[in-house]
Homo-oligomer: A and B are copies of this chain.
Amino acid sequence: MAVRARERLLTTAEELFYAEGIRAVGVERILSESGVGRASFYRHFTGKDDLVVEVLSGRDERWREWLRTAVDGYDLPPADRPLAVFDALSERFARDDFRGCAFINTMVEAADRDSAAHQVAAEHKSSVTEYLDTLLADAGRDDHAELAPELMLLVDGAIVTALREGTPEAAVRAKRIAAALLARQPDPADPREAVRRRLRVVTGGIR
């Protein structure tokens, strides 16, 4: 029983925050739905803001772990794995409790960029972009550093669109765009491309 109160608070709060928004859910609500006493809550967390940060940190960890295992689960060759991210997203979008990205939602709700919640949310996105970067590098893309933020933009676009439309269709749409992006011919006039050409000579194609 001892450790459970904190755990129950975290899971209950996460569900409610995600489903209805952080501001929209009061402490009282979390207490009654989790069955935790008021005093116990303030024994485990310094306040609601603390709980919010803790919830988001946990979700960040689990969300990225979920994406990794989902992409791994498709058992694809490295070249096809970046696009598989959108197949994973599609599964997520289809869930009937889908309500967008908890971290985007947090950045929208917590307008103050300096707030702890806002920063945790921002860091989550950086971490995911990093993951996309490794997927692209492992796929043998010289231009992984430019592609990663572009794919991330597509991921966020897909999430917002799915929230708006209420269907998982946005995932296949984003995947189609991503495919066009990955098929893009490098522009020889792009100075970044010149750098990559030089790099390829140096490394001899070894990654």
Contact = CB atoms under 8 A, between A and B. Distances in A.
Contacts of A107: 163-164
Most B Cβ at <10 Å: residue of A23, A158, A177:
A177
Contacts of A70: none
Interface string A142-158: 00000001101111111
A96 interface: no
Interface in A103-162: 104-105, 107-109, 111, 113, 122, 125, 149-150, 152-158, 160-161
Copies in the complex: 2
A99 B152 CA distance: 19
A92 to B, nearest CB: 16
Interface string A177-198: 1001101100000000000000
Contact of A105 (B108, B154, B161, B166): B108
A24 interface: yes
B174 A153 contact: yes
B160 A156 contact: yes
Contact of A149 (B23, B155, B173): B173
Given A21-B111, A180-B181, A122 B157 contact: no
Contact of A161 (B19, B156, B166): B156
A64 interface: no
A84 interface: no
A15 B81 CA distance: 43
Nearest to A176: B150
Contact of A170 (B105, B111, B153, B161): B153
A108 B164 contact: no
The 8 closest A-B pairs by CB, nearest first: A157-B157, A180-B184, A153-B157, A108-B108, A156-B160, A23-B23, A105-B108, A153-B161
